[in-house]
């Protein structure tokens, strides 16, 4: 199980998903049409480390967060 959190304006409750890879996660998340636009422009962190590699493995208990476009200041 991994938990997935949707930050900032995405405005969706956290989910628990039984996925073992980013590929599986991606497939699960694309089932929600409201997420499509956010998946296109959000970054991904696993256990609070940003990831760039689709081959990164997911382990049981990992926390994944989706970070949509930012604007601080």
Partner 1 sequence: MLELFEGRVPVEKTLEKWYQANKERNYGAFVSFVGTIRDEEGIEGLSFDIYEPVLRSWFESWQEKARKDNAIFYMAHSKGDVLLHESSYVAGIFSPKRRVGLEMLDAFVEDFKANAPIWKYDLKNGQRIYAADRSTPMEGAGLLK
Residues in the site for partner 1, rule: CB under 8 A?
A: 7-9, 22, 25-26, 29-30, 39-45, 48-52, 54, 65-73
Q: By the 8 A CB rule, do 46 and 21 touch? A: no
Distances (CA, A) of 60 to 31, 37, 49, 54: 22, 27, 16, 17
In the complex with partner 1, the residue whose CB is nearer, 1 or 50, is: 50
Nearest-approach distance from CB 57 to partner 1, in angstroms:
14
Nearest-approach distance from CB 25 to partner 1, in angstroms:
7
Of 51, 4, 56, 46, whose CA–CA distance to 29 is shortest? Answer: 4
Nearest-approach distance from CB 5 to partner 1, in angstroms:
9
């Amino acid at each position: 199980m991994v938990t997935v959190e949707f930050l900032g304006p995405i405005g969706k409750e956290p989910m628990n998903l039984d996925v073992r890879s980013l590929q599986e996660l991606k497939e699960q998340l694309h089932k929600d049409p409201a997420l499509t636009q956010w998946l296109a422009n959000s970054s991904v962190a696993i256990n609070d480390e940003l990831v760039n590699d689709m081959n990164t493995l997911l382990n049981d208990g990992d926390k994944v967060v989706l970070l949509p476009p930012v604007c601080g200041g």
